[in-house]
């Protein structure tokens, strides 16, 4: 499994797509946070914080992570190498987890350079260090779990088709619905206690909760459950080729 994991990571890093994803993520967040005169601009806002990053990043991930994962199984199917891969001394779940963790590693690599934003805001504060570090680290953790959930969804989308474009569109749709769909239902369709229950089914509610800097085990269990469900669905999708 470790050999396959290294192969998948090297496949990302030796191709343009991995670097394009990281550059696009950093470029978009950097422009909105430091250049464009919008509400997310840290210098114009005059407050030491990274709220803009954690509002923007999930929407950037909605498109970039499906772009990372769309080749995972779709390309293997199209090129005919999936059967060869499955004949290796690895179980289906080991193959899936290797591809999954490779995607998560790329998400982590994409997030690491944004620590420069944290250092910049830390030094620009008056006095320096005058910012809510607990909330920021909680937001980073929430963003990592959110990205990991998107990777699991993307892997699943790639497993049900041999077309990368179809995989990308399907993954974007599922990610968007799970991130914003339940909140939309709560805001415009159902309200009250039932609406709150429906809202809690969405990724955004738990991501927002972690962004407050308080790590609730319910949020962690939720993200891990979403990831596990889509990994299981991916396994079922791959097993269906034997039916």
User: In 3-state terms, what secondary structure has residue 206?
Assistant: helix
Q: How many residues does the chain have?
A: 243
Closest by alpha carbon to 222, among 155, 171, 170, 146? 146
| Confidence (pLDDT) at 61 | 92
Token digits of residue 133:
């570090």
Which of the two residues, 50 and 98, has the higher pLDDT score?
Answer: 98
| Cβ 25 vs Cβ 107: under 8 Å | no
User: In 3-state terms, what secondary structure has residue 117?
Assistant: helix
First to last CA, the chain: 25
Per-residue CA distances from 27 to 23, 36, 53, 64, 127 (Å): 6, 12, 12, 13, 28
Residue 77 CB coordination number (10 Å): 19
- How far, in Å, CA of 73 to CA of 68, rounded? 12
Q: What letter does residue 179 receive in the DSSP assignment? A: I
101, pLDDT greater than 90: yes
Whether the pTM exceeds 0.85: the reply is yes
- How far, in Å, CA of 6 to CA of 99, rounded? 10
Task: Please write the tens of the pLDDT for every residue from 108-138.
Answer: 988 998 888 888 888 877 777 677 778 888 8
Within 8 A by CB and 6+ apart from 152, the residues are 100, 226, 227, 230, 231, 234
Q: What letter does residue 22 receive in the DSSP assignment? A: H
Mean pLDDT confidence for 85-97: 79
Task: Please write the tens of the pLDDT for every residue from 152-201.
Answer: 999 999 999 888 999 999 999 999 999 988 888 777 766 667 777 787 88
- How far, in Å, CA of 131 to CA of 154, rounded? 35
Mean pLDDT confidence for 26-50: 76
| Confidence (pLDDT) at 59 | 92
| Confidence (pLDDT) at 138 | 87
């Amino acid at each position: 499994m470790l050999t396959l994991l290294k192969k998948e990571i090297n496949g990302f890093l030796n191709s343009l797509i991995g670097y394009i994803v990281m550059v696009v993520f950093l470029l978009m967040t950097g422009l909105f946070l430091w250049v464009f005169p919008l509400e997310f601009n840290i210098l114009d806002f005059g407050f030491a914080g990274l709220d803009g990053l954690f509002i923007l990043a999930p929407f950037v991930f909605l498109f970039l992570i499906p772009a990372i994962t769309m080749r995972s199984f779709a390309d293997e199917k199209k090129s005919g190498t999936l059967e060869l891969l499955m004949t290796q001394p690895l179980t289906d779940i080991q193959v899936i987890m290797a591809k999954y963790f490779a995607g998560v590693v790329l998400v982590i690599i994409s997030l690491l350079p944004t620590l420069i934003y944290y250092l910049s805001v830390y030094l620009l504060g008056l006095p320096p260090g005058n910012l809510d570090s607990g909330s920021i680290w909680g937001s980073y953790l929430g963003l990592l779990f959110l990205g990991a959930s998107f990777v699991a969804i993307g892997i699943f989308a790639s497993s049900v088709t041999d077309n990368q474009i179809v995989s990308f569109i399907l993954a974007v749709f599922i990610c968007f619905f799970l991130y914003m769909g339940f909140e939309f239902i709560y805001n415009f369709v159902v309200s009250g206690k039932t609406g709150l229950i429906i809202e809690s089914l969405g990724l955004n509610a738990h991501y927002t909760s972690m962004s407050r800097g308080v790590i609730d085990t319910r949020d962690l269990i939720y993200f891990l459950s979403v990831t596990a469900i889509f990994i299981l669905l991916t396994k079922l999708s791959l097993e269906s080729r034997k039916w």
